[in-house]
Amino acid sequence: MTGPESANQTQPEDTYENGYTPVVPARVQVKEVTWRAIILGAIIAVVFGVANAYLGLKFGMTVSASIPAAVISMAILTIFFRRNRATVLENNIVQTIGSCGESLAAGIIFTIPAFFIWAANDQLVAMGYDHQISRTQIFFLSMLGGTLGILMMIPLRKYLVHREHGNLTFPEGTACAEIIVAGDEGGQKAKLVFGGIGLGALYKVGYELFKVWPQSVEHHFKGVLKGGIFGADATPALLGVGFIIGPRIASYMFAGAVLGYLGIGPLLSFVGNAIPGTIIPPGTVPLDTMDANALRGAYIKYLGVGAVAVGGFVSLFKSLPVIISSFSAGFKQITGRSTEATTAIRTQKDLSMTLVLGGVLLVVLLLVIYPATDLGFLGALIATLFGFFFVVVAARIVGIVGSSSSPVSGMTIATLLVTALILINFGTTGISGMITTMSVGTVVCIAVCMSGDIAQDLKTGYLLGATPWKQQATEFIGLLFPALAMGATLYWLEGAFGFVQTPQTPDPLLAPQANVMATIVSGVMNADLPWAPILVGAMIAAAVELLGISSLPFAIGLYLPLTLSTPIMAGGLIAWGIKKVSKSEQDGKQRSFRGILFASGMVAGDALIGVFAAILIGSWEWFRNFYSNPHPDGYPSLLGSLGDPFAIAAFAGVAVILWRIARRLPKAES
């Protein structure tokens, strides 16, 4: 690719009109889009996309790939191309492409597993549900939703990234720019990422592939706390996630889990003992016969559904001032009413508005004519309107609080509810309405996730002095390759683990967001939602908000089993301890950053081996049988009765390693 500026043009000023001077001035032409950057970026996009798909389906959250992608890019291009050294803008293209995989994975796992969940529901099958989403359809929805998000973000760049430079920080984008500028330091930082990948993968091989020790350690209470449970999924991925999100969010999640499984669970069991033999809907067996896991499936899960829905809406409501201002500015940009003049300066050249508008119209046309999603003209119109609105919202929000705090779930739930109500008014209900509503939600969710990613990437490029149109073009490459892998990944994971607990899949991937959305859409369309526990969960989330605490992470903790929140809390405590032992704020930041890089690696290593295990389970009968029962006496691991204490000791060892690596400072930085 060649830039739009020729060598004979008048050289522009090095500094933007807002006073910021990029690392590479506009008048300087350096290597930017190269084959090695495209290939490396595509590989990183697929790896982190697949890893985050597994992580999100299992634990309900993904980890940003932008910073690890930037670090890995710096290391690989430095090590293997010493003579033909990579430029900062070339590294920027690698992370631009590489970070797309995680964003696409988030959009997919929040929505598409709902189709698999419905297909495993005997009641819906009896009602006539026979829709089986194919790999081709997953690719189709991924590409159209992602393309919509990328195209709709392009006209917003000059306003959100350029004009709002002093107001919107874009945390991940700024951090990536700092890493790339560090240059030679990238190799040292990459050692932390690769070290974490190695440790996470090795640990996962022990408990996942060879089943030497169990993944989960649980204790079911008896007596006064009957119906309660405590334990941990002792995995490096969850420990790393806890370190990355920090003690505050981790404690909110843990609080929700404690309330659900050490508070509400024992209370339900107490009530059941007082009325033995009584079945209370939506439960299907007597309340007094249920253990903690059965109580979760029948009641606590629906409390979590209501709490997650309210938490998402509250996050959306808190963002209303940003939504209104961003929507207004974005509308002016797209309709051409902005007074800002068009410039041919390299660092401010976007893809043309003709291409953007033509691309959006093409996406809408393809959504209308593609038959498998049951969208039609009405569904395509709803998807486009909601896509535009929430793309503007998400792009502004990630500039303020970062991608990890963007209320994507709330935006998607709002889309699903409004879409369902519109379709019902037009006479589309039941199975057909479910498929159309979830297809609309999938397109919007993927568009929102991708728009947040490209906003962060464009901020990195702005700080470095990249050419915007080149970044925008390579975003489509970053979308294409993980989109090709997502269908196969979902099918392997569903075949190996399942998304619904059945006798064939006793330990499924929980897919919490997709389960919530599947429950809401099915309930609205078929008028069979268990409203009582859902409304109680909504009131719990409202009470948490009145305490001044963010209810969304609390609600996720209430929805997920406590065994997932415990190791996340452990990681959050390590992050808290690292800051406490640091003598200065600068030391604390350096140590936290080291820990985040190592923790990101642990998450990726753990998740990739999980995907590999799913492939073996789906393709090798011997391994599938071994995986189901490795110990002849029925224990979940080869160590038998010694498995639980070994799992605790191994997890503690990983925690100590994370602590020591994060705490260590290079002598030059001490």
- Please check whether residue 464 is in contact with residue 30, taking contact to mean a CB–CB distance below 8 angstroms: no
pTM: 0.72
146 neighbors 447 (Cβ within 8 angstroms): yes
Tokens for 191?
A: 């050692």
Confirm whether 190 is domain-assigned.
Answer: yes
Return the structure tokens found at 494.
């569903």
Summarize pLDDT for 626-669 with one digit per residue, the tens: 877 788 887 888 998 899 999 999 999 999 999 999 998 765 44
For residue 377, what pLDDT is reported? 83
Q: What is the domain range of residue 483?
A: 35-194+319-401+411-496
- 539 inside domain: no
What are the strands, taking DSSP E only, across 580-666? none
**Residue 655: inside a domain:** no
Q: Find out whether 486 and 49 touch, Cβ atoms under 8 Å.
A: yes
Q: Does residue 96 fall inside a structural domain?
A: yes
pLDDT tens digits for range 460-512 = 899 888 999 999 999 999 999 999 999 999 998 888 888 887 777 777 887 88
The answer as to whether 616 is a domain residue is no
**Rounded to whole angstroms, how far apart are CA atoms 662 and 573?**
13
Residue 530 lies in a domain: no
Q: pLDDT at position 34, please?
A: 92
Query: DSSP assignment, residue 218?
Result: E
Q: Does residue 594 fall inside a structural domain?
A: no
Q: Please name every residue paired with 230 in a beta bridge, in sequence order, or none if there are none.
A: 219
- Per-run averaged pLDDT (10 residues), the chain, 670 residues: 36 58 82 92 90 80 72 79 82 92 90 91 82 89 94 82 73 73 59 85 89 90 89 88 85 93 94 90 87 87 81 69 56 55 69 86 88 76 84 72 62 83 86 90 92 89 90 94 92 86 76 85 82 90 91 83 90 94 87 86 77 73 79 84 93 96 69
651 in a structural domain: no
Q: What is the DSSP string of 273-301?
A: HHSTT---TT-SS-GGG--HHHHIIIIIH
Q: Is 219 helix (H, G, I), strand (E, B) or coil?
A: strand
Q: How many domains does the chain contain in total? A: 1
**Neighbouring C-beta atoms of residue 618, cutoff 10 Å:** 16
pLDDT value of residue 286 = 92
pLDDT value of position 546: 94
Measured CA to CA, the distance from residue 646 to residue 635 in angstroms comes to: 14
